[in-house]
Amino acid sequence: MEWLELTDDKQLSNEILETGDHIIFKHSKRCSISVMALNRLERSGFQRCFKGGFWILDVLKSRNLSLSIASKLNIRHESPQIIVLSNKRVIHHASHLAIEPETINKLMS
């Protein structure tokens, strides 16, 4: 699975919030739940059902951007967290053990 690294607000504003469908995964390599959620996502094959961009944000390196995402999308900041956007709006978000590839597959089918 090919993740694009989300590192600045310009990417969020220009590439994600203004175009198509995207998935953002807020991730921390120090958090075992985050590592487990990322592994489940990558093993699931859910990306075959989704034609948009896959973005990963390192919350330890980019905490301010992570908070900005929460503010701009009007959702609570959490980590790990998955956010699914379609047509410039949030259609699903989940955190921790509620991050389920099956749910994303259903949204994309």
The type of residue at 108 is: M
* Domain extent for 70: 4-108
Query: What confidence tens digit (pLDDT) does each residue in 69-105 have?
Result: 999 999 999 999 999 998 889 999 999 999 998 888 8
Paired with 4 in beta bridges are: 55
Distance CA 60, CA 45 (A): 27
The type of residue at 31 is: C
Domain count, the chain: 1
DSSP string over 81-95: EEEEEETTEEEEEEE
pTM listed for this prediction: 0.92
Q: What Å distances lie between residue 39 and 1, 4, 6, 28, 30, CA to CA?
A: 10, 16, 19, 13, 14
What is the CATH number for 31? 3.40.30.10
